[in-house]
Chains A and B, each alone.
Chain A
Amino acid sequence: MRVSVARVRFHPALARVQHITPRARYATTAPTPAEDYDIVIVGGGPAGLALAGALASSPAVYATSRIALVEAGSLDKVREWTMGEGEFSNRVSSITNVSREFLHGFGAWDYLDQTRTMPVEEIQAWDGLSSARITFNTSDIPSSSPARSPHLRPSQIATMVENLNIQRALLRTLEDKPDVNLLDNVKVLSITRNSADETDDYPHLTLSDGRTLRARLLIGADGPSSPVRAYTQISSYGWAYPTHAVVGTLFHRPHPLGLPNATAFQRFLPTGPIAFLPLSPTAASLVWSTRPELAAAMKQLDSAALARYVNAAFRLPWLSLNYLNTVLLESYASGTPLTASQAEEEISFRQQAHSIDASSALSSLQTTIGVPAEGSDSFPPLIHSLQRGTIASFPLRLTHADSYLGSSSQGRGRTALVGDAAHTCHPLAGQGLNMGLADVCELVRCLDAGAQHGSDLGTQVVLQPYARNRYAANHSMLSVTDKLHKLYALQSWPAVWARSTGLEVVNELLALKGAIMLGGGAAREEPNAGKAAMRFAADAVEVGASTLYGAKALLSGLGSIAGTVVGKAVGSLITNAGKQ
């Protein structure tokens, strides 16, 4: 039964009970009475909008609940978001097939501007030191997995979509759902319990426009610094990585043979992974996790200089790339950012030291269009520039709330967390938003069941299965990304030496693969993504030609710089590490 908009504070049938404490009831009541809602979602990011959209498509929930979504920013800006053809927003997510099915299920997928999405058919990931490499594609998805679906191209692993494209599509699904009240340009200022009545356990939200909402169920989809989480007093565990992610939209030439841009590339450098995520035949998204000072220096570079640096980061042996980092930092410190021609000169010099020919696939320098060099499919296309205004950086953190539900025994019941409000992770497996969408999918399932049972949707009986079914799955995903980040970021030479042999990293790359392939929902059947990754071990490793190629390049590189101070230092470190 739909609650009427005019709020009646007390039910007439209860007059007798209410009657008894008039003083206590009205003493501190705000001048404007609280508006009652069954479900209040705080946050209109991708998780909050997906939740609103999916709830509106559950007939049981939509027919029986008054729903509001509160967003500090402007949703009209999202609704009206457009971008020129060939240009892309810098916030892009790789959407797993499981997430895609979920969005498809309530019609949101159909509202995406499909011309701006890009299917990913292959992922290549390799180690920055040894060049040990794995390539994976759909043959690695178990045929029973929900990630295999008739709606998908058979060869599709994931889809690259701009976050704003998703958010706009979600808003469109809500256009014919007037009973979901979208309150934007308003901030949640505070969340409290009714001070006048202890037995009223409904959270009360005070908004920046002076309104008060009273929520049967309050859901925090309000991102990493969640005010809802603060109200629930749920502590969270985690740490900041000494790492920032630099993002931007990369431009490159179309493939000389006209092949589609359907491969994602990720190279694991000791400073963090750099990823190339395809968006169109001539554009891709950059996610480069690196040390904060390097991120700051990169953001000062002009588009052409940064493009050269990105090309080198995918190709140049680590020793030289690390040297380039030093040059970058020095020029940044002196207030004269590296120019494109200086960058090119440095890279060219380094390549000569490694005997990398300008026409080889390992060369970061643009050559005239011609037949692609042998092995060039192992590297992303050469970037010539970045889209104006798209270069930005984000600090990276791992956080996991101790619980997804506020404790009713501590008076913080009727609350749940989803998405980045509940967990944040390193973007190396591209799973953050996918985890949030899997949360939303499960929470909606629970609320739908609750509505069918006539349950109070704010109660633990309804919400507990959500927490039970999502917590462990998210936790293993967070652990895998955390472990991978740490393994690759190890700078001690014995560890680097062990890795440079290419043997250690194979397992790590498999774990990454497990995380990517099983992410965002499939992990429900397979809660331990690490273990799942191992299942792939038998069939999917490809420490193939590219590895040998890379290893040879590394060795010859070392040989040619052996006479330098760095070369001697490296030589002795390797010898020592070998003895240990």
Chain B
Amino acid sequence: MLSVIPRQLGYSTRLFRHFATNAESLASPTVDPIEIEHFSKLSAQWWDEHGELKMLHRMNPPRVAWLKEKIAELRDLEGEPSSPSWKALGGLRILDIGCGGGLLSESLARLGASVTGVDAAASNIAIARIHQSHDHSLNNLVYRHAAVETLAVEGQQYDAVCAMEVLEHVDEPKNFLKSCAEVIKPGGHLFLSTISRTPFAHLLTIAIAENTLHLVSPGTHNYDKFIRPSELIKFFKDLGWLTGTYEDRPNAQEAEVRGIMYFPGNGDWQLSNRGSSWGEQCNYLFWARKPKTP
């Protein structure tokens, strides 16, 4: 329906660019307590479930459920033993790109994964770390102020990479996706969520959400940056990952595209059925798997 991350709290934003240099210094032990107080406030704002990011908080459970389901499905397909549902990600190394305040990263860590959350905005990393510091059970989660390109250069490898609500904000989506692909182990998973470039998406996100209802700040979305599911599929076909899209049986080398819609009535997000295309008109989730052998 619309980007769930308002401009001020998003992946790369003007507001945070202002703080970015200061947030950088959170890495140094000689920081002014006023700085910390400032980021603490922002953290509270980011994590306020009734605040600007309400819709993002609501979106988290269904997208986590889908991610778990995909991983379990593939394990099953390949005859690997299944783990209990509450530890479905046990033993996996997962990278969460554009982790923001850490909503998805924390959930993945609770489900047993070893998670690295990265964000291009240093302020988001500060926010995420402050939040993590209160939850003493999150021992398998680290945050880094880094771009995926840096991790690729370092030669990092992950079982799964997530980039949720990021693609619509990056300037060079092709390079970004290539770097994502590089840090995934052979046979690993890529999970994306973004907005499709359709007249419907334009109407909902820019005309209505930004200009009419002011649900998110004007300028949050740039329509030209929206990417269609078909464009993603073509990209990964060209990369040699895919043989097609999901038809009716799960297949390791077919991408999966699922629309996700917000229902204001009960405040829930719902995924479209597999194979149906209604939901892909606007917000959608995308999964693809790197081939086991190149």
Contact = CB atoms under 8 A, between A and B. Distances in A.
Among A21, A198, A409, A456, chain B packs the most CB atoms within 10 A around the CB of: A456
A38 B135 CA distance: 10
Contacts of B40: 198-199
Given A14-B133, A199-B134, A461 B49 contact: yes
Nearest to A19: B29
22 contacts: A1-B137, A11-B132, A13-B132, A13-B141, A14-B132, A16-B129, A17-B129, A20-B29, A59-B84, A60-B85, A60-B86, A63-B86, A199-B44, A200-B134, A202-B134, A408-B49, A409-B51, A413-B49, A454-B107, A459-B57, A460-B49, A460-B50
A63 B87 contact: yes
B86 A3 contact: no
A54 B27 CA distance: 44
A14 B31 CA distance: 14
The 7 closest A-B pairs by CB, nearest first: A454-B107, A454-B110, A60-B86, A454-B111, A453-B61, A199-B40, A460-B49
Among B28, B57, B130, B142, chain A packs the most CB atoms within 10 A around the CB of: B130
Contacts of B138: 11
Interface string B25-63: 011110101011000100110001111000001101100
A550 to B, nearest CB: 49
B86 A21 contact: no
Binding site secondary structure of chain B: helix
A14 B129 contact: yes
Contacts of B26: 16-17, 20
Contacts of B108: 454
Given A408-B49, A452-B85, A454-B110, A1 B64 contact: no
Contact of A409 (B50, B126, B130, B267): B50
Interface string A466-504: 001000000000000000000000000000000000000
Nearest to B134: A200
B133 A11 contact: yes
Given A199-B130, A199-B134, A454 B36 contact: no
Interface string B119-152: 0000000100111111111111110000000000
Given A14-B132, A14-B133, A455-B60, A59 B86 contact: yes
Given A199-B44, A199-B134, A459-B57, A454 B64 contact: yes
A7 interface: yes
B37 to A, nearest CB: 8
Contact of B50 (A11, A24, A408, A455): A408
A171 to B, nearest CB: 26
A376 interface: no
Nearest to A15: B29
Nearest to B64: A453
Contact of A201 (B27, B28, B57, B134): B134
B65 interface: yes
B112 interface: yes
Given A454-B110, A461-B57, A461-B61, A9 B140 contact: no
A415 to B, nearest CB: 14
B109 interface: yes
A201 B135 CA distance: 10
Given A60-B85, A408-B48, A461-B58, 12 more contacts: A1-B139, A16-B26, A20-B33, A20-B35, A36-B136, A199-B134, A200-B134, A408-B50, A450-B61, A452-B85, A455-B110, A464-B267
A208 interface: no
B192 to A, nearest CB: 19
Interface string A548-561: 00000000000000
Nearest to A457: B110
Contacts of B28: 16
Contacts of A545: none
Interface in A1-38: 1, 3, 7-11, 13-14, 16-21, 23-24, 36, 38
B265 to A, nearest CB: 11
B142 to A, nearest CB: 5
B61 A455 contact: yes
A408 B48 CA distance: 7
A242 B77 CA distance: 67
Nearest to B106: A456
Contacts of B136: 3, 7-11, 36
B139 to A, nearest CB: 7
Contacts of A202: 134
A476 B267 CA distance: 24
A64 interface: yes
A451 interface: yes
A409 B48 contact: yes
Contacts of B65: 452-453
Contacts of B43: 199
A19 B36 CA distance: 11
Interface in B90-131: 106-112, 126, 129-131
A1 B43 CA distance: 25
A288 B56 CA distance: 53
B140 to A, nearest CB: 7
Nearest to A461: B57
A459 to B, nearest CB: 6
A485 B50 CA distance: 39
Among A19, A20, A23, A449, chain B packs the most CB atoms within 10 A around the CB of: A20
A36 B137 CA distance: 9
Contacts of B133: 10-11, 14, 17-18
A67 to B, nearest CB: 13
Among A23, A63, A453, chain B packs the most CB atoms within 10 A around the CB of: A453
B188 to A, nearest CB: 19
B62 to A, nearest CB: 8
A216 B136 CA distance: 10
Contacts of A201: 44, 134
A454 B83 CA distance: 14
Interface in B69-88: 84-87
Given A1-B139, A63-B86, A199-B44, A20 B36 contact: yes
Interface string A428-461: 0000000000000000000001111111100111
Contact of B29 (A3, A16, A63, A455): A16
Contacts of B58: 461
A44 to B, nearest CB: 25
Contacts of B60: 453, 455, 461
Given A13-B141, A20-B26, A409-B50, A452 B132 contact: no
Among A24, A64, A452, A454, chain B packs the most CB atoms within 10 A around the CB of: A454
A16 B142 CA distance: 12
Nearest to B141: A13
A458 B84 CA distance: 22
A404 to B, nearest CB: 16
Contacts of B126: 17
Nearest to B63: A453
A58 to B, nearest CB: 9
Contacts of B64: 453-455
A18 to B, nearest CB: 6
Among B60, B110, B142, chain A packs the most CB atoms within 10 A around the CB of: B110
Among B58, B64, B86, chain A packs the most CB atoms within 10 A around the CB of: B86
B28 to A, nearest CB: 8
Nearest to A448: B86
